[in-house]
Structure 1
Amino acid sequence: MNYINLSNNKFYGELSWNWSAYRNLTALKISNNNLSGRIPIGLGDVSHLQELHLFSNRLTENIPRSLGKLTLLLVLKLDNNYLSGNITLEIGQMSRLLNLSLSANNLSGSIPEQIGDCTQLLELNLSQNALNESIPSQIGNLHSLATLDLSQNMLESKMPPELGDLKSIEKMNLSHNRISGSIPKTFDHCLSLISVDISYNQLEGPLPNITAFQKAPFDALRNNTGLCGSVAGLKACSLSTQKKNSRRTGKRIILVIVLPILAALFLLIIAVGIFILTRSHTKHVENKPQELIGNLFTIWSFDGKLVYENIIDAIENFDPKYCIGVGGFGSVFRAELPNDQVVAVKKLHTTDSGSLSKSKDFANEIRALTNIRHRNIVKLYGFCSHTQHTFLVYEFLEGGSLMQLLSNDETASMFDWIKRVNMVKDVAKALSYMHQDCLPSIVHRDISSKNILLDSEYQAHISDFGAARFLRPDSSNWTSFAGTYGYAAPELAYTMEVNEKCDVYSFGVLVLEVIMGKHPGDFLMAILSASSSAHGILLKDILDSRIQSLTKQIEEQLMLVAKLTLLCADPNPQLRPTMKQVSVHLLKKRPSLASMFPVITIAELMALDLSDF
C-alpha cells in the first residue's frame, strides 16, 4: 500500500502507533476528522512518505522529533489542531519540503533557525500560535518561498533585513504581532511581492518603495506606531519623521495633555452615536424592516464600509452603459465609487429573491465566501440581497477576461508562452485551494475562459467565485446546470451530479484553449477518441501560431502542460487527476524531454507516463 486518504470523515479515536509495516507509503491523508491524542512517533519510520495531512483534527501534545527522519516529505500539514510545545528543531532535516503548515495550534517558543534549511519551501504558514522572540534571519534563505504567514503570534523585535532576500515572495502576512522598528530597505528588492499585511504591530518609518506596499490597503498597514507614506490613511513622511528621536520628548508632553481631551471627546461621540443609531434602528424596524436589510451592507474594501446607495448611484441604478459583461449567473457592471475605488458589481439573475428562506441561505453562503482569500481568486468584497435585485461586489481587474485576450490577435501575441504557462499554474493552484483546502470543499462548476480574469501583470484570477456553491457531503446534486457549453464534463449529459472532477475536466478544456489560442471544439473529442487520425498530429502543430519564440525550457513545460491537459479531459471522471495532483506536478522539477518536442505526436504524448517527465 502506498496511498491512504481517509480525509473528510467523522473518524475519532487515536492514530495507530504501528507504522513500521507501511514503509512504502507515499501519502497519508487523514485530515478533517475528530482524531485525538498524540501524533505517533512511528510515523517517522515511514521513510518514503511524501505527503502527510493531519490538519483539522484534535491532535495534542508535541510535534514528534521523529518526523525529521522523513527526508522525502514534500507536504506537511498539521494545522488546526491542539498541538503544543516548541516546533521541533528536526524540521530542518526535511530539506525537500514544499509546503509546511502548522497554523492554528498552541505552539510556543521561537521559530527554529533550522527552518532556513528547508530551502525548497513554497509555502510556510505558522500563523495563529503563540510563537515568540524574533523572526529568524535564516528565513531569508528560502529563496523559492512564495507565501509566508506568521500572523497572530507574539513575535517581537525588528524585522530581519534578510526577509528582503525572498526573491520569489508573493504574499507576506506578519500582522498581529509585536514587531517594532522600521521596515528594512532590503524590501525594495522584493519586486515579486503582491500582497502584504503588517497591521497591528509597532512599526514606524516610511514604507518600502515597491508596489505591494505603496498600493496596499490601509487595513493591511493600520495600528502601527508610526508608519508613514502615500497610502490613504497614513500620514505623509516628512523631515519630522527623520528627526523623530530628537523631538520625542516634546511629543510625549503634548500627548500627555492632548490624549485625555481626545479620549473624553471620543467617548462623547460614541455616546451620541449610540443614541442616534438606537433611535434610527427602532424607527426602521417599526416602519421599513425590509429596507434596512436590503439597502445597507458592508464590504471589505480599502476604505472600510460602503453603503448600498453608493453602489446604486455609481452605476445609475444598473444603467446598461455601465455593463461590461453578461454571463450565465448575471450581468457585470463597472462601478467607480466616490473614493475613486473601482469595483465590479454582478447583478444576479434571481428567480425567487423574495423568498426569505432562500435569501437567508444565500446570505450565509456569501458571507462565508467573503472570508476566502487566495491570490488567484477574485476577491469577493460583499453582497446585497434586496427584494428588487441581488448583487455581489468583487475586485475589479483591468486586464479583462482570458476569452477577450485570446480573441484579439494583438493582445494574444503579447500573451507569450511564459505568461501562459504561469497562468495555467495560477488557475491550478486556485482550484486546488477550492477543492482541497476549503472546508467544506467548493466546486466552481463554470470554469471557462470568460471566468478567468487577468490583472495588469497577466496573473490569473478565477471569477464568478460567488456563484459557486459549497459542496456538502449530503448534497452534491444540482437541479439545473448553469455552466458554459463546450467546457462541461460529458458525464453531465446523463447525471446532474456536479463534483470536483467536473471542474478538472473544464480545466483541461481551458488549458487546451490556452495552448491552441482558441477553443478546441470538436478537436478535443477527436484526440480523445480511441481510433482517430488526430493522434498523428504533432504537438507543435496545434500551438497558437501567433507566438513564435520557443525556448527549450518552454518546450519542456508545454509538453508537461499538454500531458496534464489530456489527463484532465479524460471522458472517464475516475481517471482524471485531482487539481492538487495537477498543481504539484506543475511545480516539480523534472528531467528534460525538450529534445522530443519537435517530433512528438498527440498519440505518443498520451502514451507517456507522468513519471517519464
Structure 2
Amino acid sequence: MSSLLDLWLFDNELEGSIPDSIGRLGNLTRLALYENKLSGHIPSTIGNLSKLELLYLYQNQLSGPFPREIGKLESLTDLALFRNKLSGHIPLTIGNLSELKLLRLCENQLSGSIPREIGKLESLIDLRLFSNIFSGVLPIEMNNLTKLMNLQIYNNSFVGNLPPDVCRGGVLVNISVASNFFTGPIPRSQKNCSTLFRVTLNHNQLTGDISDALGTYPNLNYLDLSYNELHGMLPAKIGQYNNLTLLRISNNKISGALPSEVGNMKKLNVLDLSKNHLSRGITKGLAKLDALFELSLENNELMGSIPPEIGMILTLRNLSLSKNRLVGPIPKQLGNCIDMLSLNLSGNELHDSIPVEIGRLRSLESLDQFGRLQSLETLNLSHNNLSSEIPSTFNAMAGLSTVDVSYNQLEGPIPNSTAFHNASIDVVRGNKGLCGEIVGLKPRPLKIQANSHSGKGDRKWLVILLPIIALLLLFMVIFGFWYAMIRRTKRNAKDQLVSTNENLFAIWSYDGVIIYENIIKATEGFDSKYCIGSGAYGSVYKARLSSNQIVAVKKFHVLPDGDIVGTTKISRQKAFRSEIRALTKIRHRNIVKLYGFCSTPRHSFLVYEYLEAGSLESLLSDHETMAGIGWLERGNVVRGVADALCYLHHDCSPPIIHRDISSKNILLDAEYEAHVSDFGTARFVKPDSLNWTSFAGTFGYAAPELAYTMEINEKSDVYSFGVVTLELFMGRHPRDLISSIPSLCDVQLKDILDQRIPYPKDETMADLICVLDIAFSCLSYRPESRPSMKQVSQGLSARRSNVPDYPLEIKLGELFNLRGLVS
C-alpha cells in the first residue's frame, strides 16, 4: 500500500473516523473520501502525505479543527472540506500552500477572521468560504489573489470594507458576498472587471453612488445589490448589460427616473427595484423586455399613469406597482398578459372602471386589483378611486375566496360569486353605492323589463302575467308539500352524501340521507358535549353510529344562508373542497382515512376514521400520558409522519404539499401510530411551473421563506416536519430553541430532552441523535439546503451501527451542524 498513488472511496456508506495510519501512504497524490458518513477529527498524520495534490473529504460528518498540518502539503492544488462540521480558525499554515488553486471550506462551523497569509495563495482561482461563522475584516492581502475567478463568502459575519482591488487581476467571474455586514463602497476594481458573470452583494450595508460603482459588463448574467444603502440614479449604461437575466436593487435609496435604456436588456427575466425613491413616470421602454416575467416597482414615488405598453410583455407573471403615486385608469392592455399569476396595483390613486379585458388573465392566482379570473384566490382593490360598476365577468371567478373592494367609488350590484356572498360589510365599506346580499348593504333592486312604447301596454302585460305567476307559485307550493310528505326522509333536495370508499356502503348499508340523519342523531344536532376539537374552519365531533362504529365528524362553520363562512385569507368552502380533493386521491396507513362528506344548506361536514389518542398537540400537554410514551414510541411517530409526507411528495402524481404540518394536525391511534390530518390547505404541485398561492399554515411551524414569497414547494413541509420532530422529543414547542440560534451551539443535549421520561441510553441514544440530526437539517434557513422527505424517510429507517456513546452533557454544536439554521 505504500506505493499507492490514488485512493478513491467516495460515495459509499463508510463510517467511523479516518485512521491515523493514512499518513503512511507517502506516495499518495490523490485522496477522495467524499460523500460518506465519516466522523471524528481529520488526523494530523495527513500532513505526512507530502506528494498529495488533491484532497477531497467533503460531505461527511467530520468535526474538530482545521488541521494545521495540512499546511505541510506544499504540492496540494485542490482542497475540498466543505459540508462537514469543522470548527475553529483557519490555521496560519494555509499560506504554505503556494500551489493551491481551489480552496473550498464552505458549509462548516469555522470561525474567526481570515488570516492575512491567505494572500500568499497567488495561484488560487476558486475560494469558497460561505455559510460558516467567520467574522472580522477581510485582510487587504486578498488583493494579491490576481488569478481569482470565483469568490464566494456569503452567509458569514464579516465587517468592514471589501478589498478595493479584489478584481485587480481582471479575471473575476463570480463574486458572492451577500448576507454579511460589509460597509463602505463597492470595490473600485469591480467597475473595470468586464469578465463578471454573477454579482451578489445583497444584504449588507454598502454605501456610495450606484452610478459611479457600476461599469460595463458584457457577460453579466445576475446582479443583486438589494438591501444596502446605495444612492444616486441608475445610469443609462445599464442598458448595455445584454446578457443580464436578473437585476435586483430593491431596498436601497436609488432616486430619479427609471432610464428608458432598461428596455435594451432583452434577456432580463426579473427586474426588482422596489422600496427605493424612484420618481417620475414608468418608462415605456419596459415594453421591449419580451422575456420578463417579474416586474417589481412597489414602494417608490412613481407618478403618472401605468403605460399601456406594459401589456405587450406577454411573458409577465408577476407585476407589482403598489404604493406609488400612479393615477389614471387601469390599462385594458394588461389583459394581454394571459400568463399573469400575481398582480398588485393597490395603494395608488387609480380611477375609472375596472376593465373587462382583465378576464383574459386565466392563470392569475394572486391579484390586488381586478379581474374575471378562473384561478384567482385573493382580490384586493381597496384604497383607490375606481368607479362605475364591478364588471359582470367577476361572476366567473370560481376560485376567488377573499375579496376587498373597500374605499373606492364603486356602485351597482356586487358580483354573484361565492367570495362576495361570504364577505362582510368591511370589504365593501367606503364606496359610492354598492348593493347586494352582504349584510349591511342595500338589497339588490328588482328590475322588470318593460315595453317603453306604451304605458297601457305595460299594464296589459302585467294583468296577464301576474295571475299566471301566482298560479305557478301556488302549484309549486302544493307540489313541494306533496313531495315532502312522500319523501319525509329527504329533508332537503340539495342534500348529498358521497362516499370515498365503496366498501363503506356495504358496511353501513346506507344512502346519503340515512347516514346524514344518523350523524345528526349521534351528535344530538352537533351538541357541544360531543365536540373534541375546534379550529379556524370548523369543529370536530365524536359520533357513535347506530352500527356502534365510532367516527370523527369535522363540521365546517356555516352561515344562515347556507354558505360556508370565509376567513381573512382562505374561505372554509375552499378548504372543504380542497380537503375532499386531496383525500379522495390518496391512500396511506399514516394518513387519516376519509369515509365520506356531506354538503347541505344546513351542514357541511367530513366523516373520518376516529383515532383514539387524539392529536399530538393535546397529548404533549398531558403530563401523565406523555410520561408513559418512551423514546422508541416517539421515534415511531416521527417515522410515520415522515413516511406520510414522503408519500405525498414523491409517490402522488401530481405531488401534494400539505402546507400545515403541526402537532395539532398529527393524530394518533391507540397504538400511537401517527396519522396526518387536515388537508384543508393542501395544494397539488404542477410540475415545471411556478406554484404561487397566499400564505397558509400555523405560525411557529411555517417555514421562514413563506414570510416573503408566495411560491410554495415541498421544502416548506420539510421545515414544519423538523419543528414537529423537535417538539415531540422536547415535550414542548421548540420556539425558544429556534429563536436563540446564536447560542444554540452551547446548549447541552440533556437540556432539550423531555424530562418526563428517563434519559435515553445505548442504542436508544444513538437513534435519538440520528433523529435530532435529521430534524435540525430540516430547519435549514435556506430551502434548498433541506433534505427531501424521501431522504428523511430513508435516514430514519436506516440501521445505526458503531455510533459513539455521547454523554448527555455534550453540546449541540458538537453534535450537529447548526450553521444552516442562520439566515
TM-score under structure 2 normalisation? Answer: 0.37
TM-score under structure 1 normalisation? Answer: 0.49
Query: More helix by proportion, 1 or 2?
Result: 1
Relative contact order, CA 8 A, sep 6+: which one is greater?
Answer: 1
